[in-house]
């Protein structure tokens, strides 16, 4: 007993030292407490602010039709799903959503996962093992990088958005080769050169998997994402992962692909098999979101107009914009402390734009990750630009 106490105390002391180091390096992270639904204006830590830090790109997270769908879903199915999909957790609502997602992505089938993170882990583990090769863009989302490590395949990263570097790495011999890429890079907002990646993969007999967490709903005339933007088909991108918690304003994720791919995931994806199905009511919310995302093309048009307005204004102010045509419009600030200082000055002006620091982004590339949504107005974008002009003075 006594020895256990000592071990517990030693652990706390060691952890305390590590936490102290994070604080000293301006890498300590704090959670803000939100008191309102997502939207252009939210109350965070008791303060009303203009919100430029959500992934609610279409402004659907607090939409009444999604809320109604959840209410109806709870009335029809209760709250908890009670079991995994393969036991008794797979409701008619989940099944209908899968069929609608398959139709939306123009693929034979789709399979729901509880989150994008779990979907990525599940795909890699189901498709890859020892003797296989996983090739990743250097700036891929953490869940893709973790998926590569977890599946036991040989993992290599290629230079960001560089199809030529990928092609060189694809010459390695392997049983099966999977190329994994974000469609839209989550912290930079740029698009992967998907046609070139698809070409390199096809040439080498490799499979391309695209994680379109930030493209779906937003890009393409009908919101079908990066693949619609580039006019790519199933043969070029056999594995498509999309999330339901960002532009769709709900929760969860899905994979869309061939019959054989989806059946394989059902049989082999451990993060599908060994976890409780999400509540059916959330599937109903996602169904409502999918309908709105398709019907309300004005959301995408308005968002694109806001992106153009922000970029024109930021260019005039000489702000350090990145090359991005998506709602993710980061300002590259470099040092961690600088990003925190600018973020804090914005907060004093009632603007929330969260600083993103290593290890989420590479060292020396700390930034403000500004995101625009269809819920913002042009006036609010102008207020953001005014606040940025103030906050960037002298920095």
Ligand X SMILES: *Cc1c(COP(=O)(O)O)cnc(C)c1O
CB nearer to ligand X: pick between 177 and 214: 214
User: Are 183 and 155 spatial neighbours (Cβ–Cβ below 8 Å)?
Assistant: no
Residue tagged 């740029």 (tokens): 190
Q: Does 70 bind ligand X (CB under 6 A)?
A: no
Q: Taking CB under 6 A as the rule, which mask of x and - marks residues 227-266 in contact with ligand X? A: ----------------x-x-------x-------------
Residue 104 or 113 with smaller CB distance to ligand X: 113
CA atoms of 86 and 76, how far apart (whole Å): 20
Closer of 285 and 387 to ligand X (Cβ): 285
Q: Using CA of residue 218, residue 222, residue 224, residue 227, what is the dihedral sign?
A: negative
Q: Could you tell me the strand order of the sheet in which 154-158 lies?
A: 109-113, 253-257, 239-243, 207-211, 177-182, 133-137, 154-158
How many other C-beta atoms lie within 10 A of the C-beta of residue 228?
18
Cβ density class 339-358: b for 16+ within 10 Å, e for less? bbbbbebbbebebbbbbbbe
Establish whether 177 is a catalytic residue. Answer: no
Please tell me which residue in 246, 324, 343, 376 is annotated as part of the active site: 246
116 binds ligand X per the rule CB under 6 A: yes
> d(Cα 377, Cα 62) in Å, to the nearest integer?
16
User: 102 vs 187, which CB is nearer to ligand X?
Assistant: 187
Told to check if 376 binds ligand X by CB under 6 A, we report: no
To the query of whether residue 186 is one of the catalytic residues in this protein, the response is yes
Does residue 143 carry a catalytic annotation? no
Quick one: 59 or 242, whose CB is closer to ligand X? 242
Among 38, 51, 115, 343, binds ligand X (CB under 6 A): 115
Place of tokens 């005014």: 386
Interaction between residue 102 and ligand X (CB under 6 A): no
Minimum distance, C-beta of residue 69 to ligand X, in the bound complex (Å): 19
What is the 8-class DSSP label of residue 184? B
The answer to the question of residue 214 lying near ligand X (CB under 6 A) is yes
Q: Is 38 in the site for ligand X (CB under 6 A)?
A: no
Under the binding rule (CB under 6 A), the answer on residue 371 touching ligand X is: no
369 binds ligand X (CB under 6 A): no
**Is there a contact between 281 and 70 (Cβ–Cβ < 8 Å)?**
yes
**103 touches 265 (CB < 8 A):** no
Task: Choose the catalytic residue: 81, 91, 186, 226.
Answer: 186
Q: How many residues bind ligand X (CB under 6 A)?
A: 14
**Structural contact between residues 244 and 250, judged by C-beta atoms closer than 8 angstroms:** yes
Could you say whether residue 182 binds ligand X (CB under 6 A)? yes
Query: Does 310 contact ligand X by CB under 6 A?
Result: no
- Rg (C-alpha) for the chain, rounded Å, is 22
For ligand X, the binding residues in 314-333 under the rule CB under 6 A are: none
First to last CA, the chain: 55
User: Is residue 143 at the binding interface for ligand X, with CB under 6 A as the rule?
Assistant: yes
The single residue among 166, 197, 213, 219 that binds ligand X, judged by CB under 6 A, is 213
Q: Under 8 Å CB-to-CB from 48, ≥6 apart: which residues? A: 41, 42, 350
Question: Taking CB under 6 A as the rule, does residue 117 contact ligand X?
Answer: yes
Catalytic residue among 85, 94, 214, 302: 214
190 binds ligand X (CB under 6 A): no
Closest CA to 384 of 334, 340, 349: 349
What is the rounded distance in angstroms from the CA atom of residue 167 to the CA atom of residue 189?
23
To the nearest whole angstrom, how small is the minimum distance from the Cβ of residue 142 to ligand X?
8
**Which residues here bind ligand X, judged by CB under 6 A?**
115-117, 120, 141, 143, 182, 186, 211, 213-214, 243, 245, 253
Catalytic residues: 186, 214, 246
């Amino acid at each position: 007993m006594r020895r256990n106490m000592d071990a517990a105390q030693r652990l706390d002391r060691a952890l305390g030292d590590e936490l102290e180091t994070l604080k000293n390096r301006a890498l300590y992270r704090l959670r803000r407490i939100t008191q309102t639904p997502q939207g252009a204006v939210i109350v965070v830590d008791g303060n009303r602010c203009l919100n430029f830090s959500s992934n609610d790109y279409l402004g659907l997270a607090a939409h009444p039709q999604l809320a109604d769908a959840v209410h109806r879903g709870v009335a029809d199915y209760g709250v908890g799903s009670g079991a995994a999909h393969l036991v008794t957790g797979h409701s008619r609502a989940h099944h209908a959503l899968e069929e609608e997602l398959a139709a939306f992505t123009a693929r034979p089938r789709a399979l729901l996962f509880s989150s994008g993170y779990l979907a990525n882990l599940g795909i890699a583990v189901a498709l890859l093992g020892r003797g296989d090769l996983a090739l990743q863009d250097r700036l891929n989302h953490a869940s893709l990088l973790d998926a590569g490590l977890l599946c036991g395949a040989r993992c290599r990263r290629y230079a960001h958005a560089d199809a030529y570097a990928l092609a060189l790495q694809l010459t390695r011999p392997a049983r099966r080769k999977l190329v994994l890429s974000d469609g839209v890079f989550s912290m930079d907002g740029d698009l992967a050169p998907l046609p070139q990646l698809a070409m390199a993969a096809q040439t080498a007999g490799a499979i391309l998997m695209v994680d379109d967490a930030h493209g779906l709903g937003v890009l393409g005339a009908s919101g079908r994402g990066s693949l619609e933007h580039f006019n790519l088909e199933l043969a070029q991108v056999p594995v498509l992962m999309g999330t339901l918690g960002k532009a769709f304003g709900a929760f969860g994720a899905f994979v869309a692909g061939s019959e054989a791919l989806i059946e394989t995931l059902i049989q082999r994806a451990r993060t599908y098999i060994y976890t409780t199905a999400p509540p059916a009511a959330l599937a109903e919310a996602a169904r409502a979101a999918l309908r709105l995302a398709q019907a309300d093309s004005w959301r995408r048009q308005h968002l694109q107009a806001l992106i153009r307005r922000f970029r024109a204004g930021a260019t005039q102010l000489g702000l350090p914009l990145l090359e991005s045509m998506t709602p993710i419009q980061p300002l590259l600030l470099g040092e961690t402390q600088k990003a925190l200082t600018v973020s804090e000055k914005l907060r004093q002006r009632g603007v929330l734009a969260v600083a993103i620091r290593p290890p989420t982004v590479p060292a020396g590339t700390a930034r403000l990750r500004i995101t625009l949504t269809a819920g913002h107005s042009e006036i609010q974008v102008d207020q953001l630009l005014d606040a940025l002009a103030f906050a960037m003075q002298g920095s």
